[in-house]
């Protein structure tokens, strides 16, 4: 375990098992169609890479980068698109892939924005869900794990841009926060 972690919440095995399960459900639900998987940069990158490799229907990939103003660990609800999609989504089946839904404010804004572009369908797949902190009425269509209200890192999730490369998902030691 990384020495900055207090505990491991989800092991590599738990994550990979869940990713395969989600990919199986997605492949079944969209059977006969192709989908555009939209990753929200940067947190969703690792999850998306593993997810799409387990999906068996035709997949295209695009990315969108957003920033929410406010503290690093707290979403403010004011969202800015830093990098928009490259592709036109009108008439396509769009699956937005996110690392974690926390307050839901980021996703609520993004879904409203994307739905104005008239996709054939628009769904959300998140690896983690922290429903206790929800401020916007966002319900993920696919969710890997519902987790308690703790700040987690690893498998794409960062603290101050660190720990994205950890293979498992864990909780940082309290002293790590106070150092930065």
Question: Which member of 19, 105, 122, 127 binds ligand IMP (CB under 6 A)?
Answer: 105
Where are the extended beta strands (E) located within 91-136? 93-101, 121-129
- The phi, psi pair for 83, rounded to 5°, reads -140, 120
Contact yes or no for 152/169 (Cβ under 8 A)? yes
SS3 75: coil
Question: Which member of 51, 55, 99, 129 binds ligand IMP (CB under 6 A)?
Answer: 99
Give dist(CA 115, CA 123) in Å, integer: 10
Return the range that interacts with Mg ion (CB under 5 A); candidates 18-26, 40-48, 49-57, 131-139.
Answer: 40-48
* Sequential DSSP letters for 151-174: -EEBTTB-BTTBSTT-SSEEEE-H
50 is catalytic: no
> In the complex, what is the shortest distance from the CB of residue 92 to Mg ion, in angstroms, rounded to a whole number?
23
Return the range that interacts with ligand IMP (CB under 6 A); candidates 2-10, 30-38, 57-65, 148-156.
Answer: 148-156
Question: Which member of 39, 104, 119, 170 binds ligand IMP (CB under 6 A)?
Answer: 104
Which secondary-structure segment (H or E) carries 61? strand 59-68
SS3 54: coil
Which of ligand IMP, Mg ion, none is residue 89 near (CB under 5 to 8 Å by kind)?
A: none
Question: Which member of 39, 43, 104, 144 binds Mg ion (CB under 5 A)?
Answer: 43
151 binds ligand IMP (CB under 6 A): yes
Which of ligand IMP, Mg ion, none is residue 104 near (CB under 5 to 8 Å by kind)?
A: ligand IMP
Set 84, 102, 141, 158: catalytic member:
102
Burial class, 13, CB count within 10 angstroms (exposed 0-12 / middle 13-18 / buried 19+): exposed
Q: What is the contact surface with Mg ion in residues (CB under 5 A)?
A: 43
Which amino acids are annotated catalytic? 102
Residues forming the site for ligand IMP (CB under 6 A): 43, 68, 75, 98-107, 151-153, 157
């Amino acid at each position: 375990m990384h020495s900055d972690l207090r505990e491991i919440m989800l092991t590599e095995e738990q994550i990979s098992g869940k990713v395969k399960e989600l990919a199986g459900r997605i492949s079944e639900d969209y059977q006969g169609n192709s989908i555009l998987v939209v990753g929200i940069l940067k947190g969703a990158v690792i999850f998306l890479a593993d997810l799409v490799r387990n999906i068996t229907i035709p997949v295209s990939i695009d990315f969108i980068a957003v920033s929410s103003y406010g503290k690093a660990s707290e979403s403010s609800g004011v969202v800015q698109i830093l990098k928009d999609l490259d592709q036109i989504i009108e008439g396509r089946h769009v699956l937005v892939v996110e690392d974690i839904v926390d307050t839901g404010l980021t996703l609520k804004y993004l879904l409203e924005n994307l739905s104005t572009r008239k996709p054939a369908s628009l769904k959300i797949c998140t690896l983690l869900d922290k429903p206790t902190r929800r401020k916007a009425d966002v319900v993920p269509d696919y969710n890997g794990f519902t987790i308690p209200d703790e700040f987690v890192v690893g498998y794409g999730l960062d603290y101050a841009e660190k720990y994205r490369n950890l293979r498992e998902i864990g909780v940082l030691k309290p002293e790590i926060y106070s150092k930065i």
